[in-house]
Chains A and B, each alone.
Chain A
Amino acid sequence: MGFRKFINSKTLLSFITAFMLLGTNLLMAQTEAAATTGGQTDAPQVDWTGVAYYVLLFFLVCLGVAVIGKILKIYDLTLKIQGKKGMKWNTVMAVICLVFLLAGIYGAYWSFTVQGSMTLPEAASEHGVKIDEMFTVTTVLTMIVFFITQILLFGFLFQYRHSDKRRAHFLPHNNTIEKIWTIAPAIVLTVLVVFGFFTWQKIMNTTDTKGDINIDITGHQFAWELRYPGKDGVLGPKDFRMVSAANKLGVNFKKRSSFDDLQVDTMYLPVNKSIRLNIQALDVIHSVYMPHFRVQLNAVPGLPTFFKFTPTITTAQMRTQLDDPKFEYLVYCNKICGGGHYNMQKVVRVVTEAEYQAWLSRQKPYLNDALRKELHFAAADQPKTESQNRLALNN
């Protein structure tokens, strides 16, 4: 055994002395350094004692393991000298397998109850409820399989641990049982596929209907920009060539529908109204993720996409439900997009229709003064001339 070389009093002693010396040396160096650089605090100092402490701790653990290994070895040898069989490692491992199984089942149960309760609250959208139903069904089915197979796996390990007295049962195959466990999962999966397929089609294959609220959400490094349509209910078209300092999204002001568009900071949604999120990105791929509504779709530059959903629970209702007065729905980025990826959020508020209208009337138009100046507009509603267009393009 490899330990042998380490386990003799001399090397052990020298190891420990070496570490003690190292530790004290570092400690001294540390205090000295602290003394000399007393005034300067610009760069944080490395706490070498701490490092040495952990290294020492690790070596002590290794040492402990080595000692236990040695003891076991000696115990094993003594047994053999006495003419016994030596340690039955197969039995030891089989027992550990059983212990692991029991501890594992308890751990999984604990995790399900404690951490499982920390997961998202009920879906706050119409389609989300269907997704949650599917989720529950899938969870129940898979958990049954999970517990049965793991119990069988570790149970068999314990039950059929090695014994010199018997031989394994020669069983190369059994076509009947193999057919059963090919067909059974196939049937279960077919059921899941069929339901999943139709749910998915229903969620994604949406058509435009009158009365949808169009909201434009555009991702860039590292924020979301929101644009609401004005009174006409139509969002003006965009063109990335028209992006400028004041026209961040590149809204095309050749079209009349652009003129009354609103720029907003918080995404307000009226409850029980069909929302059509028009999703785009300016620079790299982002992902619009609104987990409470079970909404996610990537924002891809050059590929406008949309997601339709209907929020069903207002922020206020959710706050009372969760007993959390500070609760907010959020939209955040869920596709790696650069250094600021981890903080690209916007608040989403689901409100009643009346609150929504009141809020909407307070929002400022996208065509603000700076943009007007840039586009050389005298008045908001004045149609542009050819030359102004060109200027806009040059910007």
Chain B
Amino acid sequence: MSTLAVHDHGVAHHDDHGHEHHHNQSFLSKYVFSMDHKMIAKQFLITGITMAVIAMILSILFRIQLAYPDKTFPLLTTLLGRFAPNGRISADFYLSLVTIHGTIMVFFVLTAGLSGTFANLLIPLQVGARDMASPFMNMLSYWFFFMASVVMLSSFLVQKGPASGGWTIYPPLSALPKAMPGSGEGMTLWLISMVMFVASSLMGGINYVSTVLNMRTKGMDLWKMPLTIWALFLTAILGILAFPVLVAGVVLLIFDRSFGTSFYLSDIVLNGVQQPYEGGSPILFQHLFWFLGHPEVYIVIMPAMGISSEVMSVNSRKPIFGYHAMVYSLIGITVLSFIVWGHHMFVTGMNPFLGGVFMITTLIIAVPSAVKTFNWLATLWRGNIRFTPAMLFAIGMVSFFISGGLTGIFLGNAALDINLHDTYFVVAHFHLVMGSAAIFGMLAGVYHWFPKMFGKMMDEKLGYLHFWLTFIGAYLVFFPMHFMGLDGVPRRYYAFTEFVSMQRWLTVNTFITWAAIMAACAQVAFLYNFITSIFIGKKATQNPWEANTLEWTTPVEHLHGNWPGEIPTVYRWPYDYSKPGAEEDYIPQTVPFSQTMSSNQAHDFEDNPKGLEELNKFNSTLKANEQVK
């Protein structure tokens, strides 16, 4: 078994080199070009948080424009220069802000920042491996991501500004440099950045999948893996299958832009000048984009689901309800997510029959999502709920997932989508269901595994403050947007001043902006908490949350290889919380059933007839003893 081979290698490695090897690492190889999965996870996390803060600031900038379209802010000119002449953000730069905000949030924060951090941290620790299958590739994955981030941000430095065709970069708008300023060098940089990003994501994904499949410790069969691992594993598979299609689309777009091909372009007259393109189809790009784009939203949300499941189980002191159903619904979502992409294209001029088909598949995918929600609720039922900040964020994730998911039933219905497509209703929907929900999943993960990452505890009270302000803020921001959408207010509008019918939403826009500013300020509490806790936080104990999973059996001080001695063997599933008859309200995965005879149940031995026999024997002797008494 490969597990054993790797495991042996790890042990040998330790015996041979002992500890000196680790202490002699140079600064460069320990902190910068690290091949240790825990360090890479931290690199992903900190880069992800940095990008998130940048994208958040961008969103505040365009929110200011929407709230005060007629007011001038000289400070903006000081900060943004030519992008905000005369104290007002220009229309083109507004679109750049929207575009880069979306791109950074979807790809750099919620894909790389979320999967990158937690897959790297948790996969080896929770399946019981000494590191990733390929640590070198893992390092490359981070550095490609880092370069992609740098290139993406560098587009703010080019003359005409960053890409501004929306994060979906539909051609011909993105293909014709003359169509808008952002489609010049900014777009080129966007495309280069994206190709690097996908390379990073693929290297990471291949690593995650191979580690989960090949490097699990003794006894860790697939049905004993925590839901975090299941979610991250399926996410990685999704990424591996979907991201190459984006690259294909992007490469064809680069060809159209730079080498005169007509994959996406046809019959175009730009500013009165005929363009020499014929025979292409803009719809083709949309198909290629959304073939990634839709799985992408599940790439974003599934790790958040996995993290929330784990955190909610630990803090409710209850097994996750319907573990198998949770896994099967994740698998269902994974498979179905590949055949629903057309629901982004109901009104693009795609054949209406296709629209009907995609509507059916789309509403089917709501079933596994509903199952997951009900199972989370059942997990809380009759629990013994501890409100750690991580738990609060996991609950927030569920709340957002419900609120945003339900509006998906409207948008997934092609007939209703006719009038809702590209309005603020859509903005509200996806910011709740994948934006806020995924961010909350990520924050739950940060609060929960911070002790594992940094060996310190975060401050709980600041965590509470951060949670409530962000949670309330997000609802205040996105809830009213539904009604704007129902009034036919389109997204990506620079100002609502030109339409008499939209001017009455101005007060709502102002309100939303101030709610957003409040939520943004709340993030300062998080950043302060995060940074100071790394240095002066209370030292963490080995298992601060009294959790069952394997990562809490490793020492608090990090060491390359994770476990000082042999990798522990796994005997049971990760959710034996509050088992009747057990001494504590948790039984770690490494405790064999032979040590917990009093709490064993027939259910534990479903595929283990020998164990069942032992249990029956034990129970009958117990009964016999009682009768004797």
Whether A296 touches B371, Cβ cut-off 8 Å, given contacts A100-B472, A118-B504, is: no
Are the C-beta atoms of B500 and A163 separated by less than 8 Å?
Answer: no
Assembly CA distance A51 to B74 (angstroms): 11
**In the complex, which residues of chain B have a beta carbon less than 8 angstroms from the beta carbon of A160?**
316, 380-385
Assembly CA distance A276 to B321 (angstroms): 54
Per-residue B-contact encoding for A239-256, CB less than 8 Å = 1, 0 else: 011011100101000000
Assembly CA distance A146 to B410 (angstroms): 13
Per-residue B-contact encoding for A314-354, CB less than 8 Å = 1, 0 else: 00000000000010101011111111111101000000000
Question: Is B26 part of the binding interface, using a Cβ–Cβ cutoff of 8 Å?
Answer: no
Q: Nearest residue in B to A179 (C-beta to C-beta)?
A: B325
Q: What are 24 of the A-B contact pairs (CB < 8 Å)?
A: A47-B74, A89-B461, A130-B415, A142-B407, A153-B395, A157-B380, A157-B385, A161-B385, A162-B386, A167-B384, A169-B381, A170-B318, A172-B322, A189-B366, A189-B367, A196-B415, A200-B352, A244-B272, A283-B269, A300-B348, A305-B349, A338-B179, A339-B181, A342-B493
Interface size on B, residues (CB 8 A): 134
Task: Report the minimum CB–CB distance from A191 to chain B (whole Å).
Answer: 10
Are the C-beta atoms of B386 and A90 separated by less than 8 Å?
Answer: yes
Are the C-beta atoms of A342 and B495 separated by less than 8 Å?
Answer: yes
Task: Report the minimum CB–CB distance from B168 to chain A (whole Å).
Answer: 9
Assembly CA distance A166 to B385 (angstroms): 11
**In the complex, which residues of chain B have a beta carbon less than 8 angstroms from the beta carbon of A86?**
none
Binding stretch for chain B, among A21-29, A209-217, A261-269, A286-294: A286-294
The residue from B172, B181, B409, B578 contacting A285, defined by CB atoms under 8 A apart:
B172
**In the complex, which residues of chain B have a beta carbon less than 8 angstroms from the beta carbon of A301?**
172, 265-268, 282
Within 8 A of A (CB), among B410-427: 410, 413-416, 418-419, 421-423
Question: Is A367 part of the binding interface, using a Cβ–Cβ cutoff of 8 Å?
Answer: no
Within 8 A of B (CB), among A107-133: 107-108, 111, 115-116, 118-120, 128, 130-131
Binding stretch for chain B, among A180-188, A358-366, A376-384: A180-188
Per-residue A-contact encoding for B529-543, CB less than 8 Å = 1, 0 else: 100110011000000
Are the C-beta atoms of A166 and B267 separated by less than 8 Å?
Answer: no
Question: Is A16 part of the binding interface, using a Cβ–Cβ cutoff of 8 Å?
Answer: no
Assembly CA distance A153 to B468 (angstroms): 16
Task: Report the minimum CB–CB distance from B483 to chain A (whole Å).
Answer: 4
Q: Nearest residue in B to A299 (C-beta to C-beta)?
A: B349
Assembly CA distance A27 to B310 (angstroms): 54
Question: Is B528 part of the binding interface, using a Cβ–Cβ cutoff of 8 Å?
Answer: yes
The residue from A173, A193, A203 contacting B325, defined by CB atoms under 8 A apart:
A173
Are the C-beta atoms of B461 and A240 separated by less than 8 Å?
Answer: no
Question: Is B33 part of the binding interface, using a Cβ–Cβ cutoff of 8 Å?
Answer: no
Given contacts A157-B380, A285-B170, 10 further A-B contacts (CB under 8 A): A111-B479, A134-B413, A189-B364, A193-B359, A200-B356, A240-B267, A241-B274, A289-B490, A300-B282, A342-B494
Are the C-beta atoms of B316 and A96 separated by less than 8 Å?
Answer: no
**In the complex, which residues of chain B have a beta carbon less than 8 angstroms from the beta carbon of A199?**
415
Are the C-beta atoms of A330 and B415 separated by less than 8 Å?
Answer: no
Within 8 A of B (CB), among A43-65: 43-47, 51, 58, 61-62, 65
Whether A240 touches B269, Cβ cut-off 8 Å, given contacts A94-B387, A162-B384, A197-B360, is: yes
Question: Is A7 part of the binding interface, using a Cβ–Cβ cutoff of 8 Å?
Answer: no
Whether A47 touches B75, Cβ cut-off 8 Å, given contacts A93-B392, A107-B479, A240-B267, is: yes
Assembly CA distance A301 to B418 (angstroms): 20
Are the C-beta atoms of B402 and A146 separated by less than 8 Å?
Answer: yes
Q: Nearest residue in A to B488 (C-beta to C-beta)?
A: A291
Assembly CA distance A1 to B366 (angstroms): 44
Assembly CA distance A298 to B349 (angstroms): 6
Per-residue A-contact encoding for B583-594, CB less than 8 Å = 1, 0 else: 001000000000
Question: Is B78 part of the binding interface, using a Cβ–Cβ cutoff of 8 Å?
Answer: yes
**In the complex, which residues of chain A have a beta carbon less than 8 angstroms from the beta carbon of B386?**
90, 162
Task: Report the minimum CB–CB distance from B132 to chain A (whole Å).
Answer: 31
Per-residue B-contact encoding for A145-173, CB less than 8 Å = 1, 0 else: 11001101110110011110011111111
**In the complex, which residues of chain A have a beta carbon less than 8 angstroms from the beta carbon of B91?**
339-340, 342
Whether A44 touches B74, Cβ cut-off 8 Å, given contacts A58-B521, A168-B384, is: yes
Interface residues on A, range: 35 or more
Are the C-beta atoms of B347 and A243 separated by less than 8 Å?
Answer: no
The residue from B173, B281, B577 contacting A338, defined by CB atoms under 8 A apart:
B173
Are the C-beta atoms of A193 and B578 separated by less than 8 Å?
Answer: no
Assembly CA distance A151 to B398 (angstroms): 12
Task: Report the minimum CB–CB distance from B292 to chain A (whole Å).
Answer: 19
The residue from A62, A130, A339 contacting B180, defined by CB atoms under 8 A apart:
A339
Are the C-beta atoms of A142 and B406 separated by less than 8 Å?
Answer: yes
Task: Report the minimum CB–CB distance from A331 to chain B (whole Å).
Answer: 11
Question: Is B499 part of the binding interface, using a Cβ–Cβ cutoff of 8 Å?
Answer: yes
Whether A302 touches B266, Cβ cut-off 8 Å, given contacts A162-B386, A168-B577, is: yes
Assembly CA distance A230 to B268 (angstroms): 26
The residue from A166, A279, A285 contacting B384, defined by CB atoms under 8 A apart:
A166
Whether A196 touches B418, Cβ cut-off 8 Å, given contacts A118-B483, A301-B266, A341-B492, is: no
Are the C-beta atoms of B377 and A169 separated by less than 8 Å?
Answer: no
**In the complex, which residues of chain B have a beta carbon less than 8 angstroms from the beta carbon of A339?**
90-92, 95, 180-181, 494
Assembly CA distance A342 to B493 (angstroms): 5
The residue from A118, A177, A197, A296 contacting B487, defined by CB atoms under 8 A apart:
A118
Task: Report the minimum CB–CB distance from B536 to chain A (whole Å).
Answer: 6
**In the complex, which residues of chain B have a beta carbon less than 8 angstroms from the beta carbon of A292?**
488
Task: Report the minimum CB–CB distance from B603 to chain A (whole Å).
Answer: 7
List 10 tightest A-B contacts by C-beta distance, closest first.
Answer: A291-B488, A302-B266, A204-B352, A93-B387, A169-B382, A115-B483, A119-B486, A2-B532, A168-B578, A302-B267
Task: Report the minimum CB–CB distance from A44 to chain B (whole Å).
Answer: 4
Question: Is B374 part of the binding interface, using a Cβ–Cβ cutoff of 8 Å?
Answer: yes
**In the complex, which residues of chain A have a beta carbon less than 8 angstroms from the beta carbon of B377?**
149, 152-153, 156
Q: Nearest residue in B to A72 (C-beta to C-beta)?
A: B461
Assembly CA distance A108 to B478 (angstroms): 12
The residue from A171, A177, A343 contacting B318, defined by CB atoms under 8 A apart:
A171
Assembly CA distance A271 to B234 (angstroms): 54
Question: Is A282 part of the binding interface, using a Cβ–Cβ cutoff of 8 Å?
Answer: yes
The residue from A145, A171, A332 contacting B321, defined by CB atoms under 8 A apart:
A171
